[in-house]
Every structure is written in structure tokens, then in C-alpha cells.
Chain A
Amino acid sequence: MTCEQFDQWLDAYLEGGLTPTQQGAMQAHMAECTLCHAHASEMQAVLSAATALPRSIVPPRDLWPDIAARLPARRGVHGSRSVLWSRWVPLAAAAAVLITVTATITYRLSRPAAPGLVLTATAPRAVAGFAADREYVLAAEDLERVLREGRERLAPSTVELLERNLALIDAAIAEARTALEADPANADLRALLWGAHRQKLDLLDRATRLTRS
């Protein structure tokens, strides 16, 4: 056996893919060729190192909010949630453009709520450093504006119920934000915050549809 042939068969040899006769020839060659023996040992080390590599690595940050903001809606499936997402995704995209302008952000986040459907003062504030939080806030603001414009078409008892539930969700959002500011790397808190935001958008979406019915 030549060294060249040894190298051609080496991979199959290490993977156990040779016949007993071929294996014997490989072993005989290694017994008399120190260079090929060394090459085989080095290759075995490469394969062992590859096997030892971790197959899972946690990303340094939570990528889900960015992914969620980009998910296209599926038309006509999953009941009201798909309606929510089909409505929210373009709003979030619009909001993402808006937040690139600092002055615009400052204006939008600091402006007082218009009269009408009352929202708690905690709602417009966003967690510093979390773009998704700002996008949720802006998307909710857009829906709130639509809702205020159609408010007179809702029964007073419905408005009262909406306000009560929105206040509860806003309180949950505020609580999650406070906790997240103290512990920004906590993925559970982020999940809680995004969940509360989605609940709010879902509720606002349902309410705005009521104003049109």
C-alpha cells in the first residue's frame, strides 16, 4: 500500500467502513510508516474534537422579539389572533421606522393621552434599550387612537369594561418593566412583558373591531 492510497482510505478506516482485508492493509502500513501513523492519529483527534463540540449555543440575547415583529400574518387562520397579528405587524413596521427619529420617539412617548378612553400613565413608558417594547407601545398607541375616534359607538358599559381591563394590563406591563429594568437579562421577565403587550394589543384590536360593527 502506498501512502497516497492510505490517505484515500483513511476516512473510511476511521469510520469503520473498510473490509477486514482493507483494515489489515491499513494497519500493516501504519506499522511500517510513522508519518501515516501520525496522520491517522491526528485525524482521529480532529474527529474526536468535532464530536466534542457543543451542538447547542445560547444566543447572547433574546432574538424572539425581533423575530416576532417580523412574522408575516397568516390570512384566514387562527381566529382573532391572526387578525391581531395582521393588524399589528404593519403597525409595528411603521413604528420601527418612527423610532429611528429620536425627536419623534420623545414626542410620542411623552405626549399626554387624548381625552376619551382613559389609559393609565404607566403605558407609554418603554424599557430603555428594548426596541421591541417601544414598538409595542407605538402599535398600541395607534390602536388607541382608532379606538378613541370610534368610542361613541360603544355602549358605556363596554367602555367601562375595556378601561378596567386595559388598566389591569397596563399595571402588569408597568410591573414587568420595573422588574426588567432591575434585571435586564431575565428572559422570563421579557416573556412576561411581551405577553402583557400582546394581551393589550389583542384587547385593543377586539375593541376597535367593535367600533366598526
Chain B
Amino acid sequence: MSDPIERAREGDPDAFRVLYEGHVGRIYALCLRLAGDPGKAEELVQDTFIRAWEKLPGFRGESAFGTWLFRIAVNVALSERRATGRREARIGPVADPEALPAAGRSADPGVRLDMEDAIAGLPPKARAVFLLYDVEGYQHAEIAEMTGIAEGTSKTQLFRARRLLREALSR
């Protein structure tokens, strides 16, 4: 049995480590942008993989493993956000903008404010939908399933996020 998903599902931590190494970069990038803080992002990544390990026996391969893992990461991040009682209006810029990669900064001379900072300044739900739709390429139906919001709400949040970003980046 060589498939690491199968072996991890059977309880093999070494196989699960293979899955971790293959996906941690994308999960960390998502968590970093959702949390806006490197320390919090690390916690979210850890919680995501622990949750994935716990839920792996129920993974039936109906979606790609990466998509399944993404869904867990989004849920972990949004649950954490709800648990800490933060509200959209209180979200500020990232605690450590230098932790975000230089490659993520826009090269467009018309975009004066850093794209990562602008994303970090979005309200959490709008930020999550923008990241999933415009950065990760998921469809509204998938986002609705991942986040537990209605498909129409996902569209509304994307509309809002894009305009907030346009406003922030064109100042």
C-alpha cells in the first residue's frame, strides 16, 4: 500500500507527514492571509493538520485531498475567528507585513498600496471569499460549501471585497 492518503488513513504518521509536506505551503499561505498574523497562522496550520488527521478515516476521495484540506483550513480559521469574538470592523493590517512574501506585492505601478496589506485590511468574510475565489480559483458553490454561507452571500462578499480592494489600492 503506497498511497500516503491510504496509509495515513490507516494511522501511519509517517505517511501523514508526506501529506503535510506536500500541502503545508498552500495551507500556510491561506492561513497567513486569513489570519493576517504569522504566529496565528502557524497555530491555524497546526490545528488544520490535527483536524485533518482526526477526520481522515472519513475522507472518501470525493474531492481532491488538497480541496478537502483547504475546506478544513477555512473552517478552522473561521471558527477561530468566531471564537475570539472579533468583528469585521476591528480587523486591522497584518501584524508583520514583512512576513508576507515580496512576490505577493503587486508590480503594477498603478497599484500603490501593497496587495497583501490591502487583503489583510478586508473584513474577514469578504477576505475569505476573495482569497478562495480570486486567488485560489474556487467557484461560489464550492466556497458556499466550504464556509457554510449561501452562494448568493459568497457573490455579495466577493463584490464587496473587490471594491474595497480597488478603493484601497487606488488611493
- By a beta-carbon cutoff of 8 Å, the part of chain A in contact with chain B is 11, 39, 41-43, 45-61, 63-64, 66-68, 70-74, 77-78, 81-82, 85
Q: Are A54 and B104 touching (Cβ within 8 A)?
A: yes
Q: Are A47 and B24 touching (Cβ within 8 A)?
A: no
Given contacts A57-B32, A77-B10, contact A49 B54 (CB under 8 A): no
Q: Are A57 and B101 touching (Cβ within 8 A)?
A: yes
Find chain B residues with CB under 8 A from A46 CB: 111, 162, 165-166, 169
Q: Are A67 and B134 touching (Cβ within 8 A)?
A: no
Query: Which 10 pairs show the lowest CB-CB distances between chains A and B?
Result: A56-B25, A74-B11, A78-B11, A77-B11, A57-B29, A50-B134, A49-B106, A49-B115, A59-B28, A53-B104
Q: Which stretch in B42-50, B71-79, B86-94, B146-154 binds the other chain?
A: B42-50
The answer, among B11, B24, B110, B170, for a CB contact under 8 Å with A81, is B11
Assign chain B's interface to a size class.
35 or more
Find chain B residues with CB under 8 A from A42 CB: 110, 166, 169-170
B142 in contact (CB, < 8 A): no
Find chain A residues with CB under 8 A from B5 CB: none
Assembled-state Cα–Cα distance A52/B116 (Å): 11
B83 in contact (CB, < 8 A): no
List CB contacts (< 8 Å) of B135-171 with chain A.
135-136, 158-159, 162, 165-166, 169-170
Assembled-state Cα–Cα distance A132/B169 (Å): 43
Find chain B residues with CB under 8 A from A39 CB: 166
Considering only CB atoms, which chain A residue lies closest to B110 in the complex?
A: A45
Q: Are A68 and B111 touching (Cβ within 8 A)?
A: no
List 8 A-B residue pairs with CB atoms under 8 Å apart, sorted by A's residue number: A45-B111, A52-B104, A53-B116, A53-B135, A55-B135, A63-B45, A67-B50, A68-B13
Q: Are B54 and A63 touching (Cβ within 8 A)?
A: no
Find chain A residues with CB under 8 A from B42 CB: 59, 61, 63
Given contacts A48-B108, A49-B111, A49-B115, contact A55 B103 (CB under 8 A): no
Assembled-state Cα–Cα distance A72/B51 (Å): 10
Assembled-state Cα–Cα distance A47/B111 (Å): 11
Q: Are A54 and B57 touching (Cβ within 8 A)?
A: no
Considering only CB atoms, which chain B residue lies closest to A76 in the complex?
A: B11
Assembled-state Cα–Cα distance A61/B38 (Å): 11
Considering only CB atoms, which chain A residue lies closest to B155 in the complex?
A: A11
Find chain B residues with CB under 8 A from A81 CB: 11-13
Q: Are B24 and A59 touching (Cβ within 8 A)?
A: yes
B53 in contact (CB, < 8 A): yes
Given contacts A42-B110, A42-B169, A43-B166, contact A71 B13 (CB under 8 A): yes
Q: Are A60 and B99 touching (Cβ within 8 A)?
A: yes
Assembled-state Cα–Cα distance A56/B33 (Å): 11
Find chain B residues with CB under 8 A from A85 CB: 11, 13
Q: Are A59 and B45 touching (Cβ within 8 A)?
A: yes
Residue of A47, A50, A73 with highest tally of chain B CB at under 10 A: A50
